[in-house]
Structure 1
């Protein structure tokens, strides 16, 4: 049996279960629940989740952002440490260490720490997507030395998102506990770097920096990437792919 047929069969098995209890509270509960039932082991690897397919799940009524992939900047060396030490803000409970949590787009400036504005820079000539740090008042560029090469982005898109199973679920509450019925799915295939870059330029892809510092143990003081990466509103995910197929 081919992987596509197998992944459809596995989805339909879960669908036929009807409503199932959430495996975890909060927003990540839906994804964890479906992955538990379909047999995915939770991980942060760059590999697809199961049988060559990346799996994303969402509540039918949701209009939130979904993570396409997480990846630390690939230039320069020790990029996370550089960003955090130069532009991060101290932890309230441990002022000697920094954290840097902010979201940005290529289409507009954000505000951070009352001092900086962050904005993605898609430099098509240099073939890089850079993290631009600007003065919050004048919008003068302070730094754009950190980012991703097109080669890096293209490889992870091809590797992580080549095949995507996108699952929808109804939900209901029973005595305060969330239950899901995974009732619909779509298979998306053939993403492209060109489409990804166009979506960045249009402001449809958001980039999150999620860098902290280890506050104990052997790595004390070193940067800790909590999942910096690229995200998109659920309803726009189809714009990244050439083809899709609905599964009932």
Structure 2
């Protein structure tokens, strides 16, 4: 009788134990689920933060690349402008050099022609042709030749100083040239006013010395012009 009475009590005990175990299990599972949910929430936050940082980094990189590209474009524009300016300066420099070279060649030709003309005028001035007319008319004609001869030599000196004497290399020959002009003019006027003067051997020797002196000056200047032309041709 006692045994049968104790069976329900044992069954109640087992049921209570099972209920308690179930409740404990369910409670434990709920706690674990809560931890997992919390971990998942934190993981979501980390992922969102990482994604945000990654996007920000990418955006920063793109912005930085854009800034660098703008700088490159700006620098390229400045380089292009500088290049065009250099090309323009080179073109202007080349044009200036060509113009200067052309002008120098023109002046070389002009100077050569004037020196040759001076040579001929000098001969006529020192050896005037005897023409019909009064002595006064002959003197006037010789004075006109004197003026033209002097002007011609002045033109020659001016050309040399302006275009061929920047380094003063021709300064000594210019001084000799001017001296020869003065002596030639004085000698020519003396011959005109005193035709018998040439009977004096010393005067003939003086005239010959003046002639040789002029020819030396003429040869020096012409050779100088030839050397300049050689340099000009070589530069072409």
TM-score grouping bracket, smaller chain normalisation: under 0.3
Please identify the structure whose Cα radius of gyration is greater: 2
The structure with more strand, counted as a fraction of residues: 1
The structure with more helix, counted as a fraction of residues: 2
Superposition TM-score, scaled by structure 1 size: 0.23
Superposition TM-score, scaled by structure 2 size: 0.24
